[in-house]
Amino acid sequence: MSGWLRVAGLGPGGDAQVTPEVRASLDVATDVVGYFPYVARVAERPGLTRHGSDNRVERDRAAFALEMAAEGRRVVVVSSGDPGVFAMASAVFEALEAGPAAWRDLDIRVLPGITAMLAAAARLGAPLGHDFCAINLSDNLKPWDLVEHRLRMAARGGFAMAFYNPRSKARPHQFARTLEILREECGGERLISFARDVARENERLTTVTLAEAEAEMADMRTVVIVGNSQTRRVGGYVYTPRFAAQESAG
């Protein structure tokens, strides 16, 4: 097959955070596929067709991209951040597994990008300087009970935590519940940072304690980072030391 498929991360928003590898693939692509706002970030040019779609049709979008690649086209599926972090890479391989056997002979490559989590951490200082985990707070693809369980286990394990999709109009109560759980498990003095529109013109960074945090501080354009018990402020920065102290198991 002469076609190929690339699954590319466009970074958190700023053009400077799109990698040269991703740019090179976009420069020779015949088709770009993705959620409307991400496709819009790819400049129009002769020979390129942009295919935007809704954010809840990931599996269909992936199958469409694979079909075009099988027809000999050079296709880039775009995500924000990194395509392997709560994004399109898994959807592509789900479609590949369910699709025709011939698709498995396609040249498919996942091109990494800078995640919103890492961009936010860099702007804040180094809050993820020791062990950390990332949790998607949306319950669209998993039950809320599982989200709560993972929150508690991560807190008890002493991890710093980064949260994606913290609070939407459809589920405004869930981030308030997240804060309740964190206060129960970590106490009120733990630092929590809100990075909204990171790497974009309207970027806003806010760091408070869990006792001071309010659910309204987060929305779907915000990455939330909670430190571990050693995370601290120095000047205008937040960082987590590289050493580990004994964490409470309770």
- Predicted confidence (pLDDT) per residue in 132-174, tens digit: 999 999 988 899 999 999 999 999 999 999 999 998 777 878 9
Q: CA–CA distance from 229 to each of 8, 40, 158, 185, 242 (Å)? A: 35, 41, 7, 11, 12
- pLDDT, tens digit, 9 for 90 and up, residues 6-54: 999 999 988 899 999 999 999 999 999 999 999 999 999 999 999 999 8
CATH homologous superfamily for the domain 4-114 = Tetrapyrrole methylase, N-terminal domain (3.40.1010.10)
Average pLDDT of the residues in 69-76: 98
DSSP string, 70-97: HTT-EEEEEESB-TTSSSHHHHHHHHHH
Query: CA-to-CA distance for 213 and 57, rounded, in angstroms?
Result: 34
Instruction: Please work out, in degrees rounded to the nearest 5, the angle formed at the alpha carbon of residue 128 by the alpha carbons of 123 and 133.
Output: 125
**Cα–Cα distances in angstroms (integers) from residue 100 to residues 36, 66, 76, 104, 105, in the given order:** 27, 10, 20, 8, 10
| Residue 246 confidence (pLDDT) | 65
pLDDT at 250: 46
pTM, whole model, 2 decimals?
Answer: 0.90
Model pLDDT, residue 243: 86
Per residue in 210-247, pLDDT tens?
Answer: 999 999 999 989 999 999 999 999 999 999 999 876 65
What's the CA gap between 10 and 200, in Å, rounded?
13
Please tell me the CATH code under which domain 117-239 is placed.
3.30.950.10
From-to residues of CATH 3.30.950.10 in the chain: 117-239
d(CA 242, CA 247): 14
